[in-house]
Each structure stands twice: as C-alpha cells, then as structure tokens.
C-alpha cells in the first residue's frame, strides 16, 4: 500500500474540510505550506494512487480562458488519511517511520 506522504496528507485534509477545489485554491488555503510549483505534480501523483479524483470545470459559452481541473478526495484517500492519522496517534503524535509508510 502506498500511504500518503506529509504533503499528500495536507492536500487530503484540505479537500476533506473544504470540499472540491483546484490547485491554486489549495495553495492559498494552506497558508504557504503547499507550493505552487509542486501542487499539480502532487495532485497528479495522488490521482494515480487513487487518493483524489479530478474533473474539468464546467464552462459556459461566456467563459473565457483555460478551464480549471477540480479535485475531490476519494473514499480510498479518506481511508488512507484516517489510517495514517490513527497510526500517528498511536505513535504519540510522531510521524510514522519511513519503513512503515513505504
């Protein structure tokens, strides 16, 4: 099982608390913890792992510009986050060892 990394966990928490969102909104909501340059790579990787699902923003005929890709957390993502958080609680708030996470 590929457990979510620290950054991925943050993305999952933001998506769970804020609902569907797009990259820039997540960066802004994270107060600088997520970086603009890596957010889309992270989201792409998470999508491959099945933690998030994405869809293209619905556009109207008046809409100008590039449509956004909207991300939402999947059931797998929620369960993975929940499991890792549970593990961290058992560790007394410490991060789980890398060997466990890989």
Partner 1 sequence: MKQRAFQQLEGERLMAARKREGGGNRKMMQKTVLHRRSDHSSFSSRWQDAEPLHTDTPPDAIVDAWQEILEAEFHKGTPGIIGIPGEDGKVWYVTPHAAEDDPVDQVQGSSPITSIHIDLDDFEFSNGTRVVPDVAPALDGKMVKPPGSLIMQLTEYLPAKRRLRKDLEQVVADMRDEYFSALAAGDAREAKFALYRGRLELVRAIVPSWCATFVSWLVNWWLAKTP
Can you give the binding site for partner 1, defined by CB under 8 A? 22-24, 36-38, 40-41, 44, 65-69
- Nearest approach in angstroms of CB 75 to partner 1 is 23
Beta-carbon-side half-sphere exposure of residue 95 (alpha carbons within 13 Å):
11
| Residue 36, number of CB atoms within 10 A of its CB | 11
Check if the beta carbon of residue 84 is closer than 8 Å to that of residue 4: yes
Q: Which is nearer to partner 1, 37 or 93 (CB)?
A: 37
For the chain, the first-to-last Cα distance in angstroms comes to: 8
Q: Which is nearer to partner 1, 3 or 40 (CB)?
A: 40
- Nearest approach in angstroms of CB 40 to partner 1 is 4
- Residue in this structure with the two tokens 């797009």, named with its chain if needed: 22
- Nearest approach in angstroms of CB 12 to partner 1 is 19
Number of H helices, E strands in the chain: 5, 2
Q: Which is nearer to partner 1, 13 or 69 (CB)?
A: 69
- Nearest approach in angstroms of CB 67 to partner 1 is 8
């Amino acid at each position: 099982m590929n457990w979510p990394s620290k950054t991925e966990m943050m993305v999952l928490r933001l998506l769970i608390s804020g609902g569907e969102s797009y990259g820039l909104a997540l960066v802004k909501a994270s107060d600088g913890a997520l970086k603009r340059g890596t957010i889309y790579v992270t989201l792409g990787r998470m999508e491959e792992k099945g933690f998030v699902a994405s869809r293209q923003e619905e556009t109207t005929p008046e809409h100008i510009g590039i449509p956004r890709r909207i991300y939402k957390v999947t059931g797998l993502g929620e369960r993975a986050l929940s499991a890792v958080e549970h593990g961290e609680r058992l560790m007394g708030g410490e991060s789980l060892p890398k060997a466990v996470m890989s």
